[in-house]
Amino acid sequence: MPFIEDTLGAVLENVVANDPDREFMVYPDRDLRFTYKEFDERVNTLAKGLLAIGIGKGDHVGIWAKNVPDWLTFMFATAKIGAVLVTVNTAYKSHEAEYVVKQSDMKALAIIDGFRDVDYISIMYELVPELKTQQRGKLRSDRFPYLKSVIFIGQEKHRGMYNSAELLLLGKHGNDEELHRIKESLNCNEVVNMQYTSGTTGFPKGVMLTHSNILNNGLSIGDRQKFTSDDRLCLPVPLFHCFGIVLGVMSILTHGATLVMLEIYDPLMVLAAVQKEKCTALYGVPTMFIAEYTHPMFKMFDLSSLRTGIMAGSTCPIDAMKRVIKDMHCTEITSVYGLTEASPGITQTTTDDAVELRVETVGRAFPGVEAAVLNPETYEPLPPNTIGEICCRGYNVMKGYYNMPEETKKAIDGNGWLHSGDLGTCDENGYYRITGRIKDMIIRGGENVYPREIEEFLYTVDGVKDAQVVGIPDEKYGEIVGAFVMLNDGAQLTEEDIQDYARTKIARYKVPKHIFFVNEYPLTASGKIQKFKLRELAVKLLENKKEEA
């Protein structure tokens, strides 16, 4: 594979040298536009501003914000001075924010005012009361010994905090030579980004990713979509997650193309952005695409400019993939499989793959990535079409979890294999299929039941919009099958209707014993469905049912 051995800053500067007036980033809702040259100049100014307040090489700088325009300015500015950007989940509240700031040894944190019902400003004053009494940049916090600065992204002034406007002003008078010297000292194998695992299965861990990890993964991801500098990607997923940073920003950067950004996800805004900016690619998790093509105003928008994109982040329903191809003009839609620890991509379909392969598989391994299906107990390779754990090794494997050597050893074995925790198969042609997670697999009276298989079946039931299947504890069988189902508008189905139909189509032990009708699923801020919460909800609902009886 063509291997990038540069840093994020150097790759950005290469695009500026070759195509300075190409649009890098557009916010269509406010007609805000930055060319590559304009963006790079802003990045350099902020980088010098950060140096002026004492942030330097190796320091950890957090960002806790929705997709505001200066989110990416902070990302590239920290990359240029050798600092590590720590991305903080927008849905976090005080307990989780305290954990990440402390566990990451964060020296500075950039924040906005808040998101939805979470007030970031109040939380920071609650966690760091010293902000109100101490000099900016010289914070001494009992709770957070490493934290020295809090930065507000915007014009407003808050006691004890810098704001980004002040940093840009400081940067305008900053030292160009110092910035140049630091940039020259950097190499592509240094950590540039730390992302905390989304917590679908447990407490977050800080995944250390290098320039090389994410740039080369982004290069392959863009290649599989045949990106050129003329492509325009509508990116409605959060930047704090690998989907946003790598599948989105890095694939665009490495191909010198254009990002069309949304500050927060809204299906109507997505449709409007694609039409206004003539986007050629669109990203999202399955629930996002479903919300778009089922929107009452969907047919009012011209999406004919779309060609490709990525549906990923959680199991992609086959019916949803087909609808996106047919109704949204994404005839070359692809699907990426991976995890944060793999930077994140391991496999991806290509625009040239047959439709069947693009809707039924997650494609083949990337160049430079060795993937395999291993026996979860013996770690031995399994023959084609046999279910086992998907593992990988290669340039894309993380440096490790920050300050968690034992957890790192559990994730990466002695032979260098990164263990995904996901179950899947690989056919004779190298195409991978995901069948579920090791922890999601339901063992009902000795029979292995794979939730993905049942979910795909439930999508075929007339009136079912979406379905998620989980194992529910049971005294007799150990576990039984439960399904959470969303219905299409106007559809009227009962639990018995679905069970009766299922009994005629699938093995009895696979038929959901309990079906719960819902309007939404518990999601992480990056759009992943939290199945452990569905399991907890199922147990609670069944207990309530018993009490009522």
A 10 A CB-CB count for 472 gives 21
Strands 281-284 and 258-261: unpaired
pLDDT, residue 93, reads 85
Q: Between these two residues, 137 and 217, which has the higher pLDDT value?
A: 217
Residue type, 495: E
- 71-93 mean pLDDT: 95
216 pLDDT higher than 70: yes
pLDDT, residue 547, reads 86
What is the enclosing helix (H) or strand (E) of 102? helix 94-103
Spatial distance between the Cα atoms of 307 and 281, rounded to a whole number of angstroms: 6
pLDDT, residue 509, reads 82
Q: How many residues does the chain have?
A: 549
Cβ-Cβ contacts under 8 Å for 19 (sequence gap 6 or more): 36, 229, 256
Nearest to 110 by CA among 175, 156, 65, 48: 65
Domains and CATH numbers, the chain: 35-196 (3.40.50.980), 450-548 (3.30.300.30)
Nearest to 129 by CA among 112, 142, 115, 120: 142
Q: How far is CA 461 from CA 301, 322, 323, 488, 519, in A?
A: 29, 16, 16, 11, 17
Q: What's 488's DSSP letter?
A: P
The SS3 call for residue 43 is helix
Spatial distance between the Cα atoms of 509 and 499, rounded to a whole number of angstroms: 12
Residue 475's Cβ-count burial label (10 Å; 0-12, 13-18, 19+) is exposed
Q: Which residues pair with 64 in a beta bridge?
A: 111
Strands 149-152 and 108-111: parallel
Nearest to 390 by CA among 364, 419, 363: 419
CA angle, 255 as apex, 177 and 51 as ends, to 5°?
25
pLDDT in tens, 161-182: 999 999 999 999 998 999 999 9
Nearest to 240 by CA among 220, 271, 264: 264
319 pLDDT higher than 90: no
Residue type, 398: M
pLDDT in tens, 325-336: 999 999 999 999
Tokens representing 468 are 């998620």
Spatial distance between the Cα atoms of 134 and 137, rounded to a whole number of angstroms: 9
Spatial distance between the Cα atoms of 167 and 53, rounded to a whole number of angstroms: 8
pLDDT in tens, 460-497: 899 999 999 999 998 878 889 999 999 999 999 999 99
pLDDT in tens, 273-306: 999 999 999 999 888 999 999 999 999 999 999 9
Give the highest mean pLDDT range of 8-22, 427-441, 528-542.
8-22
413 pLDDT higher than 60: yes
* Cα dihedral 157, 162, 168, 173 in deg (nearest 10): 120
In the numeric block, the tokens 């040894």 are attached to 105
For the whole model, what pTM was predicted? 0.85
Q: How far is CA 312 from CA 24, 282, 344, 358, 528, in A?
A: 24, 11, 11, 12, 10
Cβ-Cβ contacts under 8 Å for 124 (sequence gap 6 or more): 109, 111, 131, 150, 161
